[in-house]
Amino acid sequence: MMDTDVRVDAKGRHVGSRQALPRSAGHSPRRLRAKPVSEPPRSRPAPHSLRPSTARELPVAAPRLDDEARWLTPLASTGAAHDHAVRELHCLLLRASRFEVRRRAAALGLAGGSELDDIANQAADDALLAVMSRLERFERRSRFTTWAYKFAIHTAGVAVRRHAWRNRELATDSSESLEQLSSLADDPAEAAQMRELLARIATAIARLTTHQRDVLLALAVDGVPIDVLADRLSTNRNALYKTLHDARTRLRSLLDHEETT
């Protein structure tokens, strides 16, 4: 079956729907996605508390001949060579998205089937657009295929988590989760030292801001995937992780302060 969703020009811009892409046999063209394409993270200034890496910069490798010849030159060209390279890239991304869908589905206990195959195919399509639109930003710090794979893995992973939680309600506030944590502190099955720590943590959590408390408990106690919570709160993974990081930092500070007073 051929797909007609994706058309990218020589600069990697999405320009329409003339490009035929390979599809797996038996794949349904039905789309599961009710939300916009999952945007892979973009380069943005890091939040102040998550300091930019002081990394020893990885050397920018000299262009690898196989990457240049097989991928970068044809993807940036036009005509048959471009079309062939785009098809090859889609196959590569589909392999990665299927790999990730299988892993996430197994971890989440999801049964396989056409829905998961749809998710993998959709993720490959979305990853193709993401890769093509960022082609000029590929810095050659890794092989091109490794760089491309991460888009497919990210897109597929987000899609499976959304799929797994699509019918699940999230708590409107965190009071139940805090009660659950407090009840663990009273659980005789827990060791005395752990019960004491849990009680101190529960007390300290109550002193966080409402937003910090809600985010921390949803992610750490309720096990809501960060991308799912980000969707529900109309934010993104990076911003939500900053809130989580700030909440944890404050929590540890409160516990440390309590120990020293």
Partner 1 sequence: MTTATPALVASLLGPAGHQIGCDECFERLDAYVEQELAGHDAEASVPGMRAHLVGCPACDEEHASLHALVEAETSEAPG
For partner 1, give the closer residue by CB, 175 or 249: 249
* Distance set, CA 125 to CA 31, 95, 121 (Å): 11, 12, 6
For partner 1, give the closer residue by CB, 82 or 90: 90
Whole-angstrom distance, CA of residue 182 vs CA of residue 257: 20
For partner 1, give the closer residue by CB, 1 or 61: 61
Residue 91 Cβ vs partner 1, minimum distance, rounded to whole Å: 13
Residue 187 Cβ vs partner 1, minimum distance, rounded to whole Å: 8
For partner 1, give the closer residue by CB, 1 or 106: 106
Task: Tell me the DSSP string of 27-49.
Answer: --------SPPPPPP---PPPTT
Whole-angstrom distance, CA of residue 243 vs CA of residue 239: 7
For partner 1, give the closer residue by CB, 10 or 220: 220
For partner 1, give the closer residue by CB, 18 or 51: 51
Residue 27 Cβ vs partner 1, minimum distance, rounded to whole Å: 21
DSSP 224: -
Residue 146 Cβ vs partner 1, minimum distance, rounded to whole Å: 4
Whole-angstrom distance, CA of residue 169 vs CA of residue 70: 46
Tell me which residues touch partner 1 (CB under 8 A): 40-44, 46-47, 50-56, 58, 96, 99-100, 103-104, 107, 141-143, 145-147, 149-150, 153-154, 157-158, 161, 184, 187, 189-191, 194, 197-198, 201, 205, 216, 219-221, 225-227, 237-238, 241-242, 244-245, 248-249, 251-252, 255
Residue 247 Cβ vs partner 1, minimum distance, rounded to whole Å: 9
Half-sphere exposure for 219 (CA within 13 Å, toward CB): 22
> Which helix or strand (DSSP H or E) is residue 149 part of?
helix 144-164
DSSP 137: G
Residue 51 Cβ vs partner 1, minimum distance, rounded to whole Å: 6
CA 250 to chain centre: 25
